[in-house]
């Protein structure tokens, strides 16, 4: 009985986090170009300071920061989607891989479609592909994590 409650709690948490992360992505896509640009410049300044502190001799561009942000947020979404699958079937979450890929791709398409209706923004097929590669990367990372977790759990 106790194990069931923990499982339901975990499921509610990961589904809620997934929804919030998708809303986060959609919110940023709905920002006008000037606001989005200001946000990217702020992040770029922080990242450039970190790189300078670590003595990396490189200059970031707005383009690199934006693309890395897309990939990163969709990697997290992919990780969360696989966590949702894990909450449904702990022994074989990979059986939901096609559904995760479809939902991730649909989310990326919706995200880019939102940008078509925002001043100064444009939806890009290349961004859909970048977002989808983030979904695949996040899903694979979580599959590896859960496989290692299961192995370590058997050992102890």
Predicted confidence at residue 6, as pLDDT, reads 57
Predicted confidence at residue 39, as pLDDT, reads 87
Split into its structural domains, the chain has a count of 1
Predicted confidence at residue 34, as pLDDT, reads 87
Predicted confidence at residue 25, as pLDDT, reads 96
Predicted confidence at residue 156, as pLDDT, reads 66
What range defines the domain where residue 30 resides?
Answer: 2-155
Query: pTM for this one?
Result: 0.89
Residue 14 neighbours by CB distance under 10 Å:
20
Give how far Cα 39 sits from Cα of 45, 65, 69, 76, 114, Å. 10, 10, 11, 20, 18
In the numeric block, the tokens 């790189």 are attached to 51
Q: Which residues of the chain have pLDDT under 50?
A: 1-2, 4
């Amino acid at each position: 009985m106790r194990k069931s409650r923990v499982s339901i709690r975990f499921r509610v948490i990961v589904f809620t986090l997934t929804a919030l992360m998708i809303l986060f992505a959609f919110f940023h896509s709905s920002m006008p170009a000037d606001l989005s640009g200001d946000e990217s410049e702020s992040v770029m300044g922080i990242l450039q300071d970190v790189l300078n502190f670590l003595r990396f001799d490189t200059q970031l561009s707005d383009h690199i920061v934006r693309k890395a942000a897309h990939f990163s947020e969709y990697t997290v979404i992919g990780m969360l989607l696989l966590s949702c699958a894990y909450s449904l079937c702990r022994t074989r979450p990979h059986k939901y891989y096609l559904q995760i890929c479809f939902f991730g791709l649909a989310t990326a398409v919706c995200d880019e479609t939102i940008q078509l209706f925002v001043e100064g923004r444009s939806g890009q097929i290349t961004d859909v592909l970048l977002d989808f590669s983030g979904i695949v990367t996040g899903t694979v990372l979580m599959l590896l994590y859960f496989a290692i977790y299961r192995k370590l759990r058997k050992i102890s």
